[in-house]
Structure 1
Amino acid sequence: MNEILARMPGMTPSRSPEPRERETAVERTRERILAAAVAEFGAKGYSGARTAGIAARAGVNAQLITYHFGGKQGLLDELRRRWQERQAAAPGAEAPFAESVRAHLDATLDDPDWARLVIWQALGDCPFTDEDDGRRQTEQRQALMAEAVRRAARRQEAGELRAGLDPRFAVLAAYAIVFAPIAMPQFVRDLFGTDPLSPELRQLLAAQLVTLLTED
């Protein structure tokens, strides 16, 4: 048939995609769905989000969400896994405190949909697959917080953080300031008179947080 089409004027034979091309197309579809899920969950929370809304954002048939991820819960589980990878890749104790603060602000405010998803999760709108999954997620979160407090304590011992400061407060203050432009954009806009996601405000917040936690 292809030989016949090739001899016909204006006709070219169709070509079946190579396996690598198919894999690339599938991966692109998965990534579009995941990006759409972050936006939908960030805007509406897990409870308010709908598979149809995610599919519309991604420009795909809703059945592809079930095929690739098993449904809305599967999407959330994959996003949780990716968030843990992002956290693991964040600057650790070896980075200077000011650099670590700027990096966390950049990571949070460069991708506000992810930050909103984290806020929804902190408010409890983030169901677990089952009881064991809930226990694992809780333990992982507690371990993350415990390590953050240990890092703050080590910075304090090294003279990076102000003496007499409770390391737990240092961690809480850092999280509160970093997420404030996402969690309370109207307050931030009213206080500073600028876009909560603007580079200028980002620089101010980083500098003031460092001043708060490092200077006596």
Structure 2
Amino acid sequence: MNSVARMSARRAPSPEDRGKTAERTRERILDAAVAEFGAKGYAGARTAGIAARAGVNQQLISYYFGGKQGLLTELCRRRQQAESSMVPPDASFEESVAAYLDAILDHPDWARLVVWQALGDRPFADAEEDERFAEARRSTTAKALEGIRHRQRDGEVTGEIDPAFALLVAYAVVLSPITMPQFVQDIFGEDPLAPSVRRRLHEQLVKLLGTAEG
């Protein structure tokens, strides 16, 4: 074997290295898709824009995910996994509010994607797949509502407020820097994603829904 051949052999990546490279590429594409979907919604997003954000060839999106629809499906699956472990089972109400605020405001593109979908921008081609994700959302909401009722029974959340309304208020406040950034900016006079705004939302939401005993 001549020196050029030996050098080529040494440089050839191992299957493990190729696998790691492919996984990094997949993650870059997914990160770019979150940003693109968050900014433009599913309908407005283009695979060319996602590829440009990720710095990859557009064809790799089809290769790894089958296209824009496959990206959305994978992102929804990941979000459901993240939601299932967002709050520790033994977290207090105050800790739970902080965890939700961190999850939303640390990842605003993910939150924007959720908002787009809540407005109906989730055009799954497969009706069964759409219903599966919708059922998972309903299950998550039902668990959150039962969590509020449980905290009311334990004296952590005021029993003077209907639990469904309390949950709605919590969702509205936590998402407000994403859904109403201009209003939050005008009200607090600060960047909606600033740490100081997060602290104020956390403090006031706990005061509004919590109890002195909790």
Q: TM-score, normalised by structure 2?
A: 0.94
Q: CA deviation at 1:93?
A: 4.7
Matched, 1:188 2:180: no
Q: Is the 8 A contact 2:173 2:201 kept in 1?
A: yes
In structure 1, stretches of 5+ residues that fail to align are: none
Describe the superposition over 1:127-169 as per-residue Cα deviations: whole angstroms up to 9, x where unpaired.
Answer: 1231211221221111111111101000000000002221111
* Whole-angstrom CA distance in 1 between matches of 2:5 and 2:78: 47
Look up the match of 1:5. Answer: 4
Q: CA deviation at 1:92?
A: 4.6
* Whole-angstrom CA distance in 2 between matches of 1:57 and 1:88: 29
Identity of aligned residues (%): 58
Look up the match of 2:49. Answer: 53
Residue 209 of structure 1 aligns to a residue whose secondary structure is helix
Describe the superposition over 1:79-104 as per-residue Cα deviations: whole angstroms up to 9, x where unpaired.
Answer: 00000011001115521000100111
- Match among 75, 78, 103 for residue 99 of structure 2: 103
Look up the match of 1:161. Answer: 157
In structure 2, stretches of 5+ residues that fail to align are: none
Look up the match of 1:124. Answer: 120
Q: Is the 8 A contact 2:29 2:61 kept in 1?
A: yes
Q: TM-score, normalised by structure 1?
A: 0.94
Q: Which has the larger radius of gyration?
A: 1
- Match among 146, 149, 168 for residue 150 of structure 1: 146
Look up the match of 1:94. Answer: 90
* Whole-angstrom CA distance in 1 between matches of 2:88 and 2:150: 12
Residue 87 of structure 1 aligns to a residue whose secondary structure is helix
Q: Is the 8 A contact 1:128 1:134 kept in 2?
A: yes
Q: CA deviation at 1:6?
A: 7.6
Moved over 3 A (4+): none
Q: Supply the AA of the counterpart residue of 2:4.
A: L
Q: Supply the AA of the counterpart residue of 2:164.
A: R
Q: 1:84 to 1:109 in 2, by over 3 A?
A: same
* Whole-angstrom CA distance in 1 between matches of 2:63 and 2:174: 36
Q: Is the 8 A contact 2:156 2:211 kept in 1?
A: no
Q: Is the 8 A contact 2:48 2:58 kept in 1?
A: yes
Look up the match of 1:115. Answer: 111
* Whole-angstrom CA distance in 2 between matches of 1:111 and 1:125: 19
Q: Is the 8 A contact 1:93 1:151 kept in 2?
A: no
RMSD: 1.5
Look up the match of 1:30. Answer: 26
Q: Is the 8 A contact 2:80 2:136 kept in 1?
A: no
